[in-house]
Amino acid sequence: MAAIAAPPSSVAAVVPASCSWPAPASVSVLPALRLPFRRRRSVSSRLYSSKSSSGADESLDGSSSCPGIGGTLHPAVPPPTRSGRGVPVFVTLPADAVTPSGRMTRRKTMGASFMALATAGVEGITVECWWGIVERETPGVYDWGGYMDLVMMARRCGLKVRAIIAFHQWGTGPGDPCWIPLPQWVLKEMDKEPDLAFSDRFGRRNKEYISLGCDVLPVLRGRSPIQAYSDFMRSFRDTFKDFLGVVVTEIQVGMGPAGELTYPFCPTEKLIRASTAAELGEFQCYDKYMLASLSACARNIGMRVWGYGAPLDASDFLKNPVETGFFRSDGSWNTPYGPFFLEWYSGLLLHHGERLCITTGAIFLGTGVKISAKVGGMHWHYGTNSHPTEATTTGYYNTVIRDGYLPILRMFARHRMTLCCTCFDLLDSEEKNNSRSSPETFLRQLLCAARMCNLPLTGENSFARLDDASLNQVIYNSRLYYGGAYETSLSFNYVRMNRNLFDSHNWNRFTRFMRRMSNNQTFQARLDSRGSESFLSSISAL
């Protein structure tokens, strides 16, 4: 299919300075330049409160209605001096730690596991608080019972809690043994108004997360999605107010599918089928709300023909991106049309993230908790000039001539957020089926941008494994960010707890990993020969 025409235009790409990360032996300190933090903007109470509905508002600050176009780079602030302590490790609980009916699962097993983790020197647990479980049947009716039990159990075991506010779906469908959809009342609204869900150019829907195009429209029984998210977080704050800042020390706000500030990868029905890592995905911008935004931006620059949809020659049918008209080296991604569309697509994502940063910061102001957000780790096709997987799958406008992560991380820095990112355990040498994939180079670019913005960082592993190669890679990447004469805050989430973790061989590896991450502090983390059998049998249900 022919590509959308790209006539000459004054629209040009914003190309920040490229950012390369030095080799481990030559990690240097960034210049101590000062970044003037902007005063936080006041936000209309109508936008973020369910008391009154608001209409569409394409811009938070009264700027152009075309998000993402333009912008300047800011130098980094001087990072704090080294504290000398190690890297705190948290362990993410199973996604079904709380049942769909809101009750804690496997209470005795969970208690034994918490005690083991505490003995091993783990700082705390990470738990997803699912929107589809807590507010499952009726809007404004919240059931936090199972999560309260988890928090109280963690407190008794001396563990801290990181709460992920999960506004997304988990699993591939009702047949999935761990299936957690959006709230039932939200799905009913989607059935009545299908355009609340993301859509690709073939009309295939994705219900993992509500479309960004209707963020501030009263489409959820008089509330906008942002208002519904705000009310949910406000209920969490009020319910756990006695634990905030003491036991519950961090809130990670979910900003998209998998909790990441991303677009969906593909339609929901396609999630059920196994897909290859090299697949490009499709631009998810064909619901009427996103198309209206795209059309308005195209009209504003006098190019109406660019406002009818995504580039048609960026299909996911071709697994090799260099063969597509849009993403090949000399493709239309690097013509005036390419920057227009990619900046609009990534710009909507930035607007969505900005709204949630402002909302979350206001709700938890003064509670003593840290606020974090997660970015996606799409490293496939990273070795190409156009980085097509990042553009289509996540919405990050990152190419060989443009750093697409700096705008996101600058936004997090403005709101004093912590960055969460994955791929800490991955090696390029393991990507045998995709020679253009480079998780190591992707992570170095992200770490470089995080250091420039002086962001606190939480690393994660991509796969729940405990082999020496992956654990050593986590330690290497942690030192890459944490080393040198100065440092920013760093912690690590091990994703995720299961019964294999407590196998005696894996447990020994995990406790050695804990000692190395914690500057060789000594922990009583032994499963003695007399107690190991009975303990391991008690957690075999995980």
The pLDDT tens digits for 386-398 are: 888 888 888 999 9
- Is the confidence at residue 534, as pLDDT, over 60? no
User: Exposure pattern of 419-440 as b/e (b: 16+ CB <10 Å)?
Assistant: bbbbbbbbebeebeebebbbbb
Q: Mean pLDDT across the stretch 416-425?
A: 96
pLDDT for residue 175: 83
Phi, psi of 273 (to 5 degrees): -90, 140
pLDDT for residue 392: 83
The pLDDT tens digits for 61-99 are: 333 334 333 333 333 333 333 344 689 999 999 999 999
Which residue of the set 135, 208, 390, 460 is catalytic?
Answer: 460
- Is the confidence at residue 50, as pLDDT, over 60? no
Which position has the higher pLDDT, 55 or 502?
502
Q: Mean pLDDT across the stretch 419-429?
A: 94
Closest CA relative to residue 128, chosen from 377, 497, 514: 497
The Cα 399–Cα 401 span in angstroms is: 5
Per mean pLDDT, which range of 25-34, 338-347, 464-473, 502-511 is the poorest?
Answer: 25-34
Question: Catalytic: 208?
Answer: no
pLDDT for residue 312: 84
Q: Mean pLDDT across the stretch 426-433?
A: 84
The Cα 125–Cα 107 span in angstroms is: 15
- Is the confidence at residue 187, as pLDDT, over 50? yes
53, 123, 210 from 214: Cα distances, Å: 13, 39, 8
Which residue is listed with tokens 């993230």?
353
Note the helical H segments in 255-385: 268-271, 288-300, 337-363
- Is the confidence at residue 197, as pLDDT, over 80? yes
- Is the confidence at residue 35, as pLDDT, over 70? no
pLDDT-based confidence at residue 431 (cuts at 50, 70, 90): confident
pLDDT for residue 294: 97
Closest CA relative to residue 88, chosen from 63, 113, 122: 122
- Is the confidence at residue 119, as pLDDT, over 90? yes
- Is the confidence at residue 417, as pLDDT, over 60? yes
Which residue of the set 135, 260, 282, 431 is catalytic?
Answer: 260
List domains and CATH numbers for the chain.
89-192+208-277+350-520 (3.20.20.80)
- Is the confidence at residue 451, as pLDDT, over 60? yes
pLDDT for residue 81: 36
- Is the confidence at residue 34, as pLDDT, over 60? no
- Is the confidence at residue 486, as pLDDT, over 60? no
- Is the confidence at residue 538, as pLDDT, over 80? no
The pLDDT tens digits for 325-363 are: 788 877 788 889 999 999 999 999 999 999 999 999 999
Q: Is 379 exposed, middle or buried (0-12, 13-18, 19+ CB in 10 A)?
A: buried
- Is the confidence at residue 174, as pLDDT, over 80? yes
- Is the confidence at residue 40, as pLDDT, over 90? no
pLDDT-based confidence at residue 521 (cuts at 50, 70, 90): very low
Percent of the chain, pLDDT > 70? 74
Question: Catalytic: 137?
Answer: no
Q: Is 133 exposed, middle or buried (0-12, 13-18, 19+ CB in 10 A)?
A: buried
Would you call the peptide bond into 496 cis, given omega within 30 degrees of 0 as the criterion?
yes
Percent of the chain, pLDDT > 90? 62
Task: Dump the DSSP string for 407-420.
Answer: HHHHHHHHTTPEEE
Q: Mean pLDDT across the stretch 115-128?
A: 97
Q: Mean pLDDT across the stretch 31-55?
A: 33
The pLDDT tens digits for 499-509 are: 999 999 999 99
pLDDT for residue 469: 95
pLDDT for residue 321: 65
pLDDT for residue 386: 86
84, 166, 168, 402, 506 from 260: Cα distances, Å: 31, 10, 9, 21, 29
* Average pLDDT in the chain: 80
pLDDT for residue 62: 36
pTM listed for this prediction? 0.81
